[in-house]
A and B are shown apart, each in its own frame.
Chain A
């Protein structure tokens, strides 16, 4: 899963983030603090999903013109792996679904759209880009160097926008608006306006909030030993 045991020693010497891989973890059970943290971060994503849809004007059936929870669950996934993905999915089902009145059945299905971007971003960054000099915790978006290693800021931004802002965002919008359309919650002629609204809402929020979150908190979270080494711990 992690690309084999042989790759780790070579990359470890090259990059300070090489211990963040696609293994399950470091073989330790989830500590009580992590257990609570994972539950609380899901609660936070539920509330932020709800606010993203309920507070922003012109939001409709779970689609928001400024879906500001999007960068939160992306960053949480980079920090906490599968727990961040769980937060993204549950947050959307409850916060952007049931709490805003989309109903449980459409919410359970359309929330897959919020699970796909963090899942693929996590796999791509930890499995592919981390070995090519890009920080899987995205500190290279804002910092010139991480633990003494010079970062590739322009490349980091290009990958960040391409993967999260364009490719995964388009897949997410296609799934989300497509499911709502299939359930009869979006009119056929309104499909593309909503699709564009979805893309813009996620993209703008991602570009504005992610650097602030990363710059302000990633070092703190890492220093407290709370960043997952793999999917689970």
Chain B
């Protein structure tokens, strides 16, 4: 007969995770936390290897990176956390990915191969794919933010991004009509710069979204349980648990103190950069004082409940056993790592000869 506590847990529809809540019963929720850790480490190694293959050896494994990105989003969709990601961090991460692309476009060492023309302005207003990108981005961001300025910035940036390469602005497939407007301003970069920049941005995206996959689908208690399974002592496992449990509390404390500063008109009185930095400094005292006070209270509570004297502790209910699915996933990832990293094969090479 099942334990009533276990039933209470399994009957819950949603459980709290590191940065959101997760629906119970999904295939990703059923995975062991060790499998999830193994998965993000394997994805991280694969991505770092894939986007760093030198041009002399065929360049980054772009199809492999697309595959990794698709896998990450499939897992996010299966875990039913994709909606949260789309409405929160997805928009925030786009500027980071664009920054990656532009850093690598302009700051990578001189790469071999033919030069490619990029336009600051092509000398005409193109109507085509770029227009679709502009409108769709604007509408999507506007629906989320209800701010014309905030929506226009990424929309214009992405629009320019599709106008800039000559292969897009002069292709009849991508540009349907042209309205002459001003002179053309262009610069040349090696063809590989754009390819490498795109691969880096894609790879960085995989790193970001796999981290989110882990944070959106893992509970702190699962980590405590997994540590106990790995024969880590209760005191050490509980220490790690305390650390993770307090993340949310400290973030809330920080936000409360910042809001108190804003309520005292700190943003109005001190608007310069240095003053804002000083404001951050003044957050430190109440934040650390609160942290010490809370620790003392928790320490006394733990002591009062016999934490120091207790020998046999009850283990975490969230502890799971590694299932055949867990072993299968880890096996597939190991095979993928051997194929790509150790044997040096590339997924792109399977399709492009």
| Chain A contacts to B: CB under 8 angstroms | 31-44, 46-48, 51, 60-61, 66, 68, 72, 90, 98-106, 183-190, 204-205, 208-209, 212-213, 216-217, 220-221, 224, 226
Contact B280 A209 (CB under 8 A): yes
A185 proximity list for chain B (CB < 8 A)? 204
Contact B303 A217 (CB under 8 A): no
A101-B208, A104-B40 known; A46+B45 contact, CB < 8 A? no
CA distance A213 to B133 in the complex (A): 48
CA distance A34 to B298 in the complex (A): 10
A44 proximity list for chain B (CB < 8 A)? 246, 250, 287-288, 291
- Contacting residue for B250 out of A43, A61, A209, A216, CB 8 A: A43
Contact B103 A60 (CB under 8 A): yes
Least Cβ–Cβ distance between A101 and chain B, in angstroms: 3
A39 proximity list for chain B (CB < 8 A)? 239-240, 242-243, 246
Least Cβ–Cβ distance between B217 and chain A, in angstroms: 14
* Most chain A beta-carbon contacts within 10 A, residue among B48, B215, B281: B281
CA distance A212 to B287 in the complex (A): 12
Contact B292 A221 (CB under 8 A): yes
Instruction: Determine the residue in chain A with the shortest Cβ distance to B252.
Output: A47
- Contacting residue for B299 out of A34, A183, A209, A220, CB 8 A: A34
CA distance A187 to B109 in the complex (A): 8
Contact B278 A103 (CB under 8 A): no
Interface residue B247 (Cβ < 8 Å from any Cβ of A): yes
CA distance A219 to B294 in the complex (A): 18
- Contacting residue for A32 out of B107, B288, B299, CB 8 A: B299
Least Cβ–Cβ distance between A37 and chain B, in angstroms: 4
Contact B247 A68 (CB under 8 A): no
B245 proximity list for chain A (CB < 8 A)? 43
Contact A33 B277 (CB under 8 A): no
Interface residue B234 (Cβ < 8 Å from any Cβ of A): no
A204 proximity list for chain B (CB < 8 A)? 277
- Contacting residue for A43 out of B45, B204, B243, CB 8 A: B243
Contact B246 A99 (CB under 8 A): no
Contact A101 B108 (CB under 8 A): no
A47-B247, A188-B107, A208-B277 known; A36+B292 contact, CB < 8 A? no
* Most chain B beta-carbon contacts within 10 A, residue among A103, A186, A188: A103
Contact B298 A103 (CB under 8 A): no
Least Cβ–Cβ distance between B63 and chain A, in angstroms: 18
Q: Enumerate 7 A-B pairs (CB-CB under 8 Å) in ascending A order.
A: A37-B299, A43-B245, A47-B250, A51-B254, A187-B104, A187-B107, A209-B284
Contact B48 A106 (CB under 8 A): yes
CA distance A205 to B200 in the complex (A): 30
A47-B254, A212-B284 known; A33+B296 contact, CB < 8 A? yes
Interface membership of chain B positions 272-296, coded 1 if the CB is closer than 8 angstroms to chain A and 0 otherwise: 0000011011101101110110111
CA distance A184 to B206 in the complex (A): 14
Contact B292 A224 (CB under 8 A): yes
Interface residue B308 (Cβ < 8 Å from any Cβ of A): yes
Contact B242 A40 (CB under 8 A): yes
CA distance A35 to B300 in the complex (A): 11
Contact A32 B308 (CB under 8 A): yes
Least Cβ–Cβ distance between A69 and chain B, in angstroms: 10
B277 proximity list for chain A (CB < 8 A)? 66, 68, 204-205, 208
Least Cβ–Cβ distance between A116 and chain B, in angstroms: 22
Interface residue B210 (Cβ < 8 Å from any Cβ of A): yes
Contact B242 A101 (CB under 8 A): no
Least Cβ–Cβ distance between B242 and chain A, in angstroms: 4
- Contacting residue for B211 out of A68, A103, A190, A217, CB 8 A: A103
Instruction: Determine the residue in chain A with the shortest Cβ distance to B295.
Output: A37
Contact B48 A35 (CB under 8 A): no
Contact A187 B246 (CB under 8 A): no
CA distance A185 to B302 in the complex (A): 44
CA distance A38 to B277 in the complex (A): 27
Least Cβ–Cβ distance between B205 and chain A, in angstroms: 8
